[in-house]
Structure 1
Amino acid sequence: MSPKRRRRCGPRRTARWKSAWECTAGRFTASRDSNSETCHIVSGRVSLHGPDGRSEDVGPGEMLVLPKGWRGEWTIHEKTRKLYILHFEA
């Protein structure tokens, strides 16, 4: 589940890493303690479960933002590919 390629972009005040990511069906927990993440789902289908019990389904062509401090669980329903940018404050 690690990215195949990373690239830094953006001004020096804010570091950004962009990459592509693929994952097969399953579940895992994630946290964005030190950064936010912007994602574009290219293929597949996922559900995001937040700590407040809310759940959101996301599929191909949709974008989502996980704000800094977000914690939750991803359910990958089928092989999924996403493009993402991690935003870090310097």
Structure 2
Amino acid sequence: MLKLVKTSSRKAGLPPGSPVFIGERVTEKFGLNMVDYDAESLSVSTPVRLDEFRLLKETPSNTWIRVHGLHDAEAVDRFCLEFGLH
């Protein structure tokens, strides 16, 4: 006979869009890589602080940001709040 097992979500009770990592815990540190480009230039860098990204908001170039360490929900949340991402 089959038994139904009810499991509760780790996200239960949180507002929609709350960053909660539900995968395997790993030890990779949170980090960002940035590719900033336009028709004339290309720049690849690994900024250390979030305030380095703030400068990009005012540039007309395109920026591609790669996030490493998504398991660090607090760091991802700070980054998303800073840039209005959800």
TM-score of the alignment, normalized to the shorter chain, above 0.5:
no
Structure with higher helix content: 2
- Higher Cα Rg: structure 1 or 2? 2
Q: TM-score, normalised by structure 2?
A: 0.32
| Greater relative contact order, per chain length (Cα 8 Å cut-off, separation 6+) | 1
Q: TM-score, normalised by structure 1?
A: 0.31
